[in-house]
Amino acid sequence: MSQTERIVNVIRLQFVNRQPFLWVPLMVFGFAIALSLVIYAIIPESGPKYGGASQAPMWSFLFVGVSAMTLTFPFSQSVGLARWEFYLGSLAAAAVTSAVLATALVIQGVIEQVTDGYGINGFVAYLPWVWESGWWSAWLTFFVFTLMAFVLGFWGATVFKRWGMTVLVAVLGSLGLALAAALLVISRREAWGEVIAWFATAGSLQLTGWLALLTAVLAGLSYLTLRRAVP
């Protein structure tokens, strides 16, 4: 069996349990839309109403990444798959499902534009800032964000498998402290206006590029940790 065929087998292995990779994100997607529309209908404002509910199904891939590592990795080692084969196959499976979700969000955004926000000026997937360069840039943003969430969850699970819960909590706590320190510095320097202006002028494509870079770094860390993780 060729290495390509073995990687394809990992993809199939990940898709054996369709709940985390398919049905759970789609359910979150559907509930996020329904809940947003109910809230929009309650709001008396007649102008356009935008929300961040489209992030919900993308963030659900954080848990998809965790389950892809913790539930499938031990079995992959018992059947003789190399760790790098499991790694590449898992990322490929995540890329496929990220593309499916990104496509669903773009279709949803088009529907929202055609129907003027479902007739109530309510928008879930269509956010002008994300769509400023067209549907393809929105698709790319959705895809990269979803894949990043998966890789983040996958990396956290590899840390747990390699060093245990204590180290995982220490790593997450350190990241939380670093983020809090950054927010403190911005607040002390009263630089929130500059930060908001940077996000406004950077555009969605530039931020997507930074997210892609972060995803690549996390993916590299995941592989380095996976090499010595305990099944």
Give the number of other Cβ atoms within 10 Å of residue 214's Cβ. Answer: 14
DSSP three-state, residue 182: helix
Least reliable range by pLDDT among 46-60, 134-148, 174-188, 195-209: 195-209
Tokens in use for 211?
């997210």
Q: Of 174, 194, 202, 48, give the one whose Cα is nearest residue 118.
A: 48
Of the candidate ranges 34-48, 88-102, 147-161, the one whose mean pLDDT is the lowest? 34-48
pLDDT of residue 1: 61
112 vs 106: CA distance, rounded Å: 10
Tokens of 48: 């356009």
Strand partners, 49: 122
Q: Which of 5, 205, 12, 25 is nearest to 97 (CA)?
A: 25
Candidates 154, 174, 145; CA nearest to 219 is 154
Taking residues 186-208, what's their average pLDDT?
82
SS3 for 130? coil
| pLDDT tens profile 165-185 | 999 999 989 999 999 998 899
Q: What is the mean pLDDT of residues 127-154?
A: 93
Q: If you average pLDDT over residues 1-6, what whole number do you get?
A: 78
164 sits in which H/E element? none
How many Å apart are CA 1 and CA 215, to the nearest integer?
A: 30
Average pLDDT score over the chain? 89
Confidence (pLDDT) at 119: 87
Q: Is the pLDDT of residue 197 over 90?
A: no
Q: What is the pLDDT of residue 44?
A: 79
Q: Fill in the amino acid letter for 188.
A: R
On the question of pLDDT at 17 being above 80, the answer is no
C-beta separation of 93 from 12 below 8 A: no
Structure tokens at 95: 């890329």
The residue ranking higher by pLDDT, 157 or 190, is 157
Q: Which helix (H) or strand (E) holds 106?
A: helix 83-114
The pLDDT assigned to 148 comes to 96
pLDDT tops 90 at residue 201 = no
Instruction: Please report, as a single letter, which amino acid is at residue 202.
Output: A
Whether 199 has a pLDDT exceeding 80, the answer reads: no
Q: Where are the alpha helices (DSSP H) in the chain?
A: 3-14, 18, 24-42, 55-59, 61-70, 73-78, 83-114, 135-163, 165-188, 192-226
- When pLDDT is averaged across residues 105-120 and rounded to a whole number, the result is 92
Distance CA 210, CA 203 (A): 11
Are 86 and 4 in contact by the 8 Å Cβ rule? The answer is no
| Structure tokens, 83 | 């760790």
